[in-house]
Structure 1
Amino acid sequence: MSNRPTINDLARAAGVSTATVDRVLNGRASVRPETARRVYEAAQSIGYHAAALIGHRVHSDLPRLTIGFVLSKERHSFSQAFKRAAEQAAIHAPDIRGRAIVEFSPTQQPADFARLMEGFAGRVDAVAAVAVNHVEVTTAIERLHAQGIPCFALCNDFGQGTRDSYIGLNNMKIGRMAAHMVTTAARTSGKLAMFVGGHRWHGHELRETGFRSYQREFAPEFTILDTLVNLETRQLTYEATLDLLSRHPDLRGIYCAGGGMEGAIAALREARQPREVALVVNELTPESRSALADRYVEMVIGTPLNTICRNLFTLAHQARASEGVPLPGQTFLRPDIHMPESI
């Protein structure tokens, strides 16, 4: 006997009657779009055999919207989580047949980001990227605009005054939050260190500014060392952290404003006891979760990727449906905060 879900199982999962499911399946009478979508999502979740057919019924009359994403660091867990969030946002975007095409820049060079962004021309309705702030990227946006393709900056702002909108965290505030936690968690006054991925990452520059602003205002007993560029790489961060620990025995805290935190965590595990140096990092990954549990990390500031991608599809749909109506220049989202006792 087959154990595959029945129409009755689907009706229960969707919270509707079997008659409603029948109407969705056969298109015999009108069903509210939100109800049809709920039936479709329930069909997917329980593995109903006609889920594809329901999806076709639900989406057949909706306009298509394809967004091209340019990300970096393909092997990083954060980047893969971003890709999954983009694809899920496309599936669940209301009132459209969404699609996400995700490509990864092989390097952090501006030319690579610009090449991939322009390469979406003729294939997508909008472009969104996590990219460095550089004239080559701005020029790529201008060329896409000339073809009627809006462009969005995600997480790290770029092309200010040219791109259509920025969606992400308020990076100045993120830097201040990090400084607050580092200086609060440090047991005594001393020195603080900070890593940024590079000076073309506008978000990292803002986080550094916020970090230093907070220290000047509320923690003048601490001294911030010169900011270190780690190119968001584990090995470079590892070696630089070990060097910091050997040269500055009074080092009390570290903030990794971008990637490469795995190297700082590894160095602290090797050279210090838990909580001897207060470490704050960004993004919850297997490594940062483990370091939280072991008290080598005091706080993880997470990016709400699902919310970013949902907002992106909404804004891109508005940009296409309301041509000429300006979009919000910035959409700031609340960060996800993870502490040792919250994981």
Structure 2
Amino acid sequence: MNDEEPIVFKRASVAEIAKLAGVGTATVDRVLNNRVNVRAETRQRVMQAKHAIETGAQIEDRARPWRLRIFLPEEAGPSTEFLGNCFQNVYTDGRATIDCIFSKKLEPSLLARKLRACAGQGIDAIGFQALDDPRVVDAVEELHSLGIPCVPIVSDLVSPVIGQFIGTDNMAAGRTAARLMGLITRRSGPVAVISGMHLYRNHSDREMGFRSTIRRDFAHLQVVGTYSGQDEMAENCKVVQEILREFPDIVGIYNVGGGNEGVVTALKDAGVADKITLIGHNLTPKTASYLLDGSMDIVIHQNMQRIAELAVQAMIGLLENRPARIGMVPVEVITRENISGATFG
């Protein structure tokens, strides 16, 4: 028999949270009820105090918590929005505060300027969805020279100063998509790849892995081209309409990025959603519904909550001179058959 006492979690009162967080009870009430007009730093301090009281965890006493800043592309779809929320909810034991900034997507010059601006704003470390552009690389290397580490998340960046990438093995994700495409799609014929832009290394790596595996193992399929929809629903719809006109015998489509809704809309409008194998990325309420109605066959998924937690862990580790090699987030395969219990995290 186990004689250990069961762990009992207490419920923190508003007054207890306010005292530990160093804020007023009205502020705690606004945070707990998810009301507006509360700074991200204050919101996080309140949630950390609540967590500490209810679990017995200790909040580390630092003269000043590390300031972490996260840059994500705006209007990049529900999975990116969810990732932003995940970052705001990461528990840091009081060692850090996190603010998440959304920057116009696919604009490397703007991202580079925003990265550089952090040097004058007291930011200690940066996590960002990287754009593979020399201007972004130059900004990251300048920040490194100033002692501000940058950690790429979701999409990687090649630079000698980058020591850690947080995300999935995107080459493996593409190879997985190809193997599933080859096994599911019995008919011979063309398959097409839809991508965002060359600025995302995760898109390029997924495409590379997909093409190499199709070429090596599935001779009955031919990748006929890569079409850019810029991760936009409307653009992806136009791209698929173009593909259907050019290749009426198309048997499969692999969307390496966002905008799955546009792909499905075009296939449904053409009456071929049940005839063409569609594989895409990231489980969301929308892609879950497509799996259930048969519009999509496979969703290749990455756990965004885990990515946020590991990224924060990596940044704090670098700042506290205890860097640890963090492994890749697993590539997950979601189908209609195993969707029950799957989370968007």
TM interval, short-chain normalised? 0.7 to 0.9
Once the 2 structures are TM-superposed, how far is the Cα of residue 327 of structure 1 from its aligned partner?
Answer: 5.0
- Higher-Rg member (1/2): 1
Q: Deviation digits for residues 257-286 of structure 1, max 9, x if unmatched?
A: 011221101111111344310001111122
Equivalence for 2:101? 103
Once the 2 structures are TM-superposed, how far is the Cα of residue 64 of structure 1 from its aligned partner?
Answer: 1.7
Residues 178/74 of structure 1: CA separation in 2 closer, same or farther (3 Å cut): same
Distance across 1 between alignment mates of 2:168 and 2:9: 38
Matched, 1:342 2:338: yes
Q: Which aligned pairs between 1:1-343 and structure 2 lie closer than 5 A? A: 15=8, 51=50, 54=53, 58-59=58-59, 61-62=61-62, 64-74=65-75, 76-89=77-90, 92-93=91-92, 95-121=93-119, 122-322=121-321, 328=325, 331-343=327-339
Q: Which moved more, 1:171-180 or 1:113-122?
A: 113-122
Distance across 1 between alignment mates of 2:264 and 2:124: 41
What amino acid is the match of 2:235?
L
Q: Deviation digits for residues 289-332 of structure 1, max 9, x if unmatched?
A: 1110111101111121111111112221221111xx6653x731
Once the 2 structures are TM-superposed, how far is the Cα of residue 110 of structure 1 from its aligned partner?
Answer: 0.9
Tell me, what secondary structure is at the counterpart of 1:66? strand
Tell me, what secondary structure is at the counterpart of 1:123? coil
Q: Which moved more, 1:313-322 or 1:53-62?
A: 53-62
Residues 101/295 of structure 1: CA separation in 2 closer, same or farther (3 Å cut): same
Tell me, what secondary structure is at the counterpart of 2:327? strand
Q: How many residues align?
A: 303
Q: Which moved more, 1:95-104 or 1:311-320?
A: 95-104
How well do the aligned residues superpose, as a CA RMSD in angstroms?
Answer: 3.1
Once the 2 structures are TM-superposed, how far is the Cα of residue 120 of structure 1 from its aligned partner?
Answer: 2.1
Q: Deviation digits for residues 133-156 of structure 1, max 9, x if unmatched?
A: 111011111121122111101111
Once the 2 structures are TM-superposed, how far is the Cα of residue 201 of structure 1 from its aligned partner?
Answer: 1.2
Once the 2 structures are TM-superposed, how far is the Cα of residue 86 of structure 1 from its aligned partner?
Answer: 0.6
Equivalence for 2:29? none
Distance across 1 between alignment mates of 2:277 and 2:125: 41
Tell me, what secondary structure is at the counterpart of 2:337? coil
Q: Percent identity?
A: 25
Residues 236/53 of structure 1: CA separation in 2 closer, same or farther (3 Å cut): closer
Tell me, what secondary structure is at the counterpart of 1:120? helix
User: Is the 1:165–1:331 contact (alpha carbons within 8 Å) kept by the matching residues of 2?
Assistant: no
User: Is the 2:185–2:251 contact (alpha carbons within 8 Å) kept by the matching residues of 1?
Assistant: yes
Residues 307/53 of structure 1: CA separation in 2 closer, same or farther (3 Å cut): closer
What amino acid is the match of 1:183?
G
Q: Deviation digits for residues 162-185 of structure 1, max 9, x if unmatched?
A: 223111110110101111122222
Tell me, what secondary structure is at the counterpart of 1:251? coil
Once the 2 structures are TM-superposed, how far is the Cα of residue 222 of structure 1 from its aligned partner?
Answer: 0.9
What amino acid is the match of 1:61?
D
Distance across 1 between alignment mates of 2:174 and 2:275: 21
What amino acid is the match of 2:83?
F
Residues 218/174 of structure 1: CA separation in 2 closer, same or farther (3 Å cut): same
Equivalence for 2:343? none
Equivalence for 2:20? none
User: Is the 2:75–2:105 contact (alpha carbons within 8 Å) kept by the matching residues of 1?
Assistant: no
Q: Deviation digits for residues 169-220 of structure 1, max 9, x if unmatched?
A: 1011010111112222224110000011111211111111100111111101
Once the 2 structures are TM-superposed, how far is the Cα of residue 52 of structure 1 from its aligned partner?
Answer: 8.9
Once the 2 structures are TM-superposed, how far is the Cα of residue 252 of structure 1 from its aligned partner?
Answer: 0.6
Task: Structure 2: state its 5+ residue gaps.
Answer: 18-31, 34-45, 340-345
What amino acid is the match of 2:8?
G
TM-score by length of 1: 0.80
Equivalence for 2:21? none
Distance across 1 between alignment mates of 2:6 and 2:288: 33
User: Is the 2:76–2:231 contact (alpha carbons within 8 Å) kept by the matching residues of 1?
Assistant: no
Q: Which moved more, 1:180-189 or 1:330-339?
A: 330-339
Q: Deviation digits for residues 36-91 of structure 1, max 9, x if unmatched?
A: xxxxxxxx89x99x9499499942625623211111033621121011111111xx
Residues 238/15 of structure 1: CA separation in 2 closer, same or farther (3 Å cut): same
User: Is the 2:65–2:94 contact (alpha carbons within 8 Å) kept by the matching residues of 1?
Assistant: yes
